[in-house]
Every structure is written in C-alpha cells, then in structure tokens.
Amino acid sequence: MQALVVAERVIAQVFKDKRTMAMMFLAPLFVLYLLFTILGSSSDNVTIGTVGLPASFEQIVKEETPARSYASREAAEEAMKELQITALVYLENETPYILIEGGDVSKNAQALRVIQSALTKQSAEQGQAVNKQLLEQIKQLQAQLGQEVSVPAEVAPMAVRNPQIDFLYGDKDAGLFDQTAPALMGFFIFLFVFIISGVSFLRERSSGTLERTLVTPLKRSSIVWGYFIGFFLFVVIQTLLIQLFMVNVLDVTQSGSYSLLLLVNVLTASVALSLGLLLSSFAKSEFQLIQFIPLAIVPQIFFSGIFDLSDAPTWVEVVNRLMPLTYAAHALQNIMTRGAGIDTIGIDLLMLAGFIAVFVLLNMRVLRKERPV
Amino acid sequence: MIVVQGYSQSYGKKDVLQEVDFSIERGEMVGLIGPSGSGKTTLIKSLIGMQIPTKGTVHVFNEQQPTLKVSKQIGYMAQSDALYNDLTPRGNLKYFGKLYGLRKKKLAERIEYVLDFVDLARDADRPIHSFSGGMKRRLSLAIALIHEPQILLLDEPTVGIDPKLKRTFWEEFEALRSKGVTIVVTTHIMDEAERCDRLLLIQDGRLIDAGTPQELTNRFGSIENVFIQKEGM
C-alpha cells in the first residue's frame, strides 16, 4: 500500500520531467537507428580492380560489386593508394594474385569473399564449358563410329555445379545488425533504465528527500518496491517501443514469441533498475554515478554475445557468467533469430530473476545504514 | 516524553556524542545550543530514530528508539529543504501526508491548514523551482507539520533566511508550543536561544550544562560566556 504511494510519486515526477521521458523513450530508438544505418551501409561497399583478367571474370565480379580494370599493375596500385579500390586481382604466370588494401577489416573480408566466389564461379563455368566440349566431341565420335559409347558417370559435371544454400534460421539477407540487434536491444534497455533510476535515487539521497521519506512510518522495502512499481509502467512502454521499432521499422528478424520477448526485456530492465538503485548509494554525486557506467555497464556489452567467446580464457568465462546481460542477450538472441521458447531460455529468465532478488536484498541492506528499523 | 540516558554515539572510531543524559517534558521548547560540529544534528537524528545508539538509550513516548511506532508523532525539519522540485508544493504535501497515513478528507484538510499556517496558500500550485529560499524553507516546515506531530524536531530551521521570516518562524513555533507541541530546536544564534524554555549546551559531544536562558545568563553573565568559560577549563 505504502509502496503504491511511492510509485505514484515516482510516476508523477517522471511525467513532469519531459526530457527524462524523451531520453527513456526516444534515445534508445535514435541510437539503434544510427547503428542500423552504420552497420547496414559499411559491408558491401568494396570496389575491385583487375589487371589483365578475362572479361568474363570481371563480369562475374560486377554481379556483386563494382569492378574496374586497369592497364598495368602500377596504375592499379596507385588507385588503391587513393582508396579507389579495396582489392586488386592480377595474373602472373597464369596464376591469379590478390592484393588487398588492408586498412579496413570488414572490407578486406568482403573483398576476399567476392573475389574467391568469382574465381570459383569462373572455374566452374570453365569446367562446364570443357565438359560441354567433351560431351560434344563424344557425340561426334558416336556419330562417326555409328555405335554407342558409354560415358562413365564421373564425367557428368556434378562437382562444378553451384551449391544451393539454405539457412536453418534466418536467411541470406540477415546482416551484422540482425545478429547483434537482440543483444543491443537488451543493452540499451539496460543502460537507459540504469541511468535514470540511478540518478533519480541519487537525487533523493543528496536532496534529503530520502531521509525525510525514511522518518515517516514507511517500511524500507516499500521504497524499493515503490520505485519498482513506478518505473514498471515506463519500462513496459519503453520496451514495447523498442521492440516495435526494431521489428517493424528496422526489419530485424523476429521469429519468436512477442510476449516472451517482452518478458525478457522487462526482467532485463528490472535488473538495471535494482542495480541503479544499489550503485547510487555508493556514489556521492551524479558525476560519480556516471563513473560506474564504464566499469559496470560497458564491459557487459562485450559479453552479450556480439563477440564469440568460445576460445576465451577461463576467467573471462567466469566474468561472463556474472554479468546479467549475458543471460538477457542469450535469451533475446535465441528468441529473435531462432524462435526459441521458454524451454530453451527458462534458465536465462531464472538467472535474471535471481539478479533482481540479490540486488533488491542488497538495496534493503544498504538502506539500513540510513534507518536501522 | 523524551528521555535520553547514558547515550553515546560513535561512527567508526570517532566519538560524536558521549554520555548524554537529559529528559524533555511535554509542551517544552528546548534549544540545543553548541558550535557547529558539536553533535547537535547527531542528537536530533537519534531522537527521530535514524540510528542505533552505540551506548545508552533514547526513549520517545516510552518507546525505545529506533522504532517505527513513534514516527507518526514526530515531525522533522532537516537543514536541507528536502523537497521534490519536480512536484508542486501541494504535490509534496500530499505525498508526505499519505506516507503518514493521512487519507482523502483529512489529508485535504491538513494540506490547506499547513499551507495557510506557513502563508503559502496562494503559491500551492506554482512550480517549486520558481520559489525563493525563504519560501522553500516555509514549505519544508509545512511538510514537517502535515501529520500534526506531537514532537517537532528542527535542525537549524532559520539558517539562511531573512530576519523578517525568522521572526515569523519563531512566532509559529511559539504558537505550536501553546497547543502543547514539544519542540526541540538546534541553533547557534543567541537571540533564538533566549526564546526557548530551556537550553541544553553541547560542546565536543558532551552535554556541558543545562538550564533556562535566565539561569544561565545569571550564572555566567551571558549564554555565550558559558562556552568561553568552559573552553578555558
């Protein structure tokens, strides 16, 4: 009951503070949109230079990415220095050589991929052409001899056909953003809720309103629950907005259940809320609270599944398991890209709930310093 | 009403208060006088029940502090204004009134009463950030009074306000006393001390003397002299 009084006041305060509302609702959308644009525009923008290669090769490359042919290697290398081309392919003694500019990791990989697939495709086409010629000659021989010649099966051009590629989850259009988006969604929800809840609780401390609230017959736990209930409303709206924006506007793959996604996000936000309240009691000012972000929040993004940690040392694995975002990101990624259900991500939900319980209990302990009963 | 026995308070190795003994009767206005850093605020905080005494006991209404049982009987005004600047004065009063368990009609009545008492009725719905320091102080007092407390604990209530408002404040305190409210007020301003019924003089965490302003003036020449003479001892 008393918790509701606190909740009502928290809600009234947030409503009065338009900028905080905007920060909560619009800032994550803006940042995600920015990231979407950046990740979406970088990868397929390579130009490939060729010197003395057959026109057919250039044609194949051009199906995927711009290509330019140069009269000499020197001219091509000059163009590369001016960053006009990312990679250069040339022939020496009938062997293709590839020279990569090397300044941009994602472009390197992209250029290599395009060149290699083009080379494979061309040799396949050449192979097919040779096969075709052979079959043609066999037919001519048959006609000349006037009798059947059996052709062994190995000669049939199976190996040179292009493979058909299918995806168990997602499709070939899924890019870097689709892969990282679920984890980033969790991260931004976490970050913004942490900042807002931490700063508002810190202000209560420094302005003396927390002390004044604690001299009333209010129970300590009611303050913490009041903040939870008060922020719950905003967290649900924020989460729904981000979810809708990512799935409908940014067109991120979402193959799982919407409500399960919401549940994970609300739990993630609750962890951030309880951590924000807790850490605010170890900060003397807003400035000191912000200092917790690079220490306690930013490292979590490294562990949130954006980077592959399978070969990481043991201590990293231990740290990884202690980070709430690890579980949030795991759950979000599995729901969105693999359509996972409660059976796969149940353990993640339990872990997140566990973090909330621990942080809330610690919060009540810390408030004991302010008022012993 | 308030009984403090053998009370000591330490934070870590630092002893803030040592062996303090006193009692306060209903309807008294008691001044806690002492230089800054002498332990006045710590004493007030133990009376509200914000800390566990390191030694000794603090009783309020026969209940041993800290306890939530007597919170409804105590009004507290801290040195800082402690207001929610995002809410209106009325919003602040409503919130704290509700925390004290006031509901609907009673709450509305009390809000009007205290707003009138501190002369803020016309500004009740204005944003607080447009308030002057004095207005914030008055609102802070109004919040301390919202639940009709029997005991009012005031920590430096008149710091940083103009002489005219200071006089109004003291008139208000006296009006409350005449209704039977017990008031404990900390100050280091001597003309304020003279308006109290009784003074407790604190220095370096010890209660060095007590008595009516008249008694102390007779014995030492003036209240200030008490500190100067004791310092020399």
Q: Which pTM was predicted? A: 0.78
- Closest chain A residue to the Cα of B140, Cα to Cα: A212
- Whether residue A203 sits in one domain with residue A118: no
Under DSSP, is residue A187 helix (H, G, I), strand (E, B) or coil? Answer: helix
Residues of chain B found within 8 Å of residue A208, distances taken between Cβ atoms: 78, 80-82
- Whether residue A236 sits in one domain with residue A209: yes
Does the residue A152 lie in any domain? no
Give the position of tokens 């979590």.
A300
- Whether residue A220 sits in one domain with residue A342: yes
Q: Indicate the residue type of A321.
A: R
Whether A373 and B68 lie within 8 Å, measured CB to CB: yes
* Residue A218 to chain B, least CA–CA distance (Å): 6
Contact A97, A91 (CB under 8 A): yes
Domain range for residue A257? 2-40+175-368
Picking from A111, A129, A147, the residue at the C-terminal end of a domain is A129
Give the position of tokens 């899924």.
A174
- Whether residue A34 sits in one domain with residue A49: no
Strand partners, B187: B33
- Closest chain A residue to the Cα of B93, Cα to Cα: A9
Residues of chain A with pLDDT under 70: 41-44, 149-163, 170-176, 305
Does the residue A373 lie in any domain? no
- Give me the number of domains chain A comprises: 2
* Residue A196 to chain B, least CA–CA distance (Å): 15
Q: Indicate the residue type of A21.
A: M
- Closest chain B residue to the Cα of A203, Cα to Cα: B84
> How many interface pairs between A and B have CB atoms less than 8 angstroms apart?
74
- Closest chain B residue to the Cα of A2, Cα to Cα: B99
How far apart CA A228 and CA A278 sit, in angstroms, is 13
Find the CB nearest A217 among B72, B81, B85: B72
* A196, A212, A213, A219: best to mutate for the B interface, most B CBs within 10 A: A212
Does the residue A154 lie in any domain? no
Find the CB nearest A217 among B84, B95, B101: B101
Best CATH choice for the domain B2-78+131-232 from the list 2.40.170.20, 3.40.30.10, 3.40.50.300, 3.40.50.920: 3.40.50.300
pLDDT at A350: 95
Whether A207 and B82 lie within 8 Å, measured CB to CB: yes
The tens place of each residue's pLDDT in chain B, 233 residues long, gives 899 999 999 988 888 999 999 999 999 999 999 888 888 999 999 999 889 999 999 999 988 988 888 889 999 999 888 999 989 999 999 999 999 999 989 999 999 999 998 889 999 999 898 898 889 999 999 999 999 999 999 998 888 788 888 888 899 999 999 999 999 999 878 888 888 999 999 988 899 888 998 888 888 888 777 777 776 55
Residue B44 burial by Cβ neighbours in a 10 Å radius (0-12, 13-18, 19+): buried
Please enumerate residues of A whose Cβ is less than 8 A from a Cβ of B: 2, 5-6, 8-9, 12-13, 16-17, 207-209, 211-219, 370-373
Task: Give the number of other CB atoms < 10 A from CB of residue B54.
Answer: 15
pLDDT digits (tens, 9 = 90+) for B83-129: 999 899 999 999 999 999 999 899 999 999 999 988 899 999 998 98
Domain borders along chain B are 2-78+131-232
pLDDT at A162: 60
pLDDT at B146: 94
Contact B184, B47 (CB under 8 A): yes
